[in-house]
Amino acid sequence: MNSDIRLIEDLGPEMQAWLEQALLLDLQNYKVKGKQFQFDYSQIVQEGHVRTFRGKWLESVSDIQVTDVSGAPVAAGWMDFVDTSANPEIEPSVFWLFLTIYKKGEAIKVKKDAFLPEYLWNSFTDAQKDFVSSTNSRWLQRDPKVQAWKVKKG
């Protein structure tokens, strides 16, 4: 058994449901719709981006598989998150950092870069963008959108 799966089990059912709902909502941005999906965490790998949220350890993980009720692959990818406030009670924005979707059995890589998704960044308020670009976050270090915002704001 993959020992990293304990990350998901340790979230507990409420936090796991919250995480899965966030990832399902994010899939809609890639035209994946449906309600009868199942998550398979049996091959996940810890990726090191962590924070405490609602008393639980939230960490980015790769190799999440999503299937339909028949077991056919729907999507696979790496889950990550971004904090948009210093308030630890504010939900982080959860999204697919890398994502492959399956259409008629064909794997299509729809998110290939290690940046915040464009649609997500564009949904943030100026205050949220200010926070993301003012912290020494992984996003400021690597994402050109965040770096450009920081330069723009001086």
pLDDT tens-digit readout, 59-117:
788 899 999 999 999 999 999 999 999 998 899 999 999 999 999 889 999 999 999 99
CB atoms within 10 A of CB 88: 11
Q: Is 152 exposed, middle or buried (0-12, 13-18, 19+ CB in 10 A)?
A: exposed
User: Mean pLDDT across the stretch 52-60?
Assistant: 79
Q: Where is pLDDT greater, at 45 or 116?
A: 116
Strands 45-53 and 73-82: unpaired
CA-nearest of 122, 132, 137, 123 to 153 is 132
d(CA 50, CA 48): 6
What are 128's two structure tokens?
Answer: 């949220």
What pLDDT sits at residue 4? 56
**Among 6-10, 23-27, 29-33, which is the least confidently predicted range?**
6-10
0.75 surpassed by pTM: yes
What are 109's two structure tokens?
Answer: 């890589």
Q: What amino acid is encoded at 74 in this protein?
A: V
What are 58's two structure tokens?
Answer: 């939230």
Residue 133 has pLDDT above 80, yes or no: yes
CB 40 within 8 A of CB 66: yes
Residue 5 has pLDDT above 60, yes or no: no
Mean of pLDDT over the chain: 89
What pLDDT sits at residue 59? 79
| Strand, helix or coil for residue 52 | strand
Residue 146 has pLDDT above 60, yes or no: yes
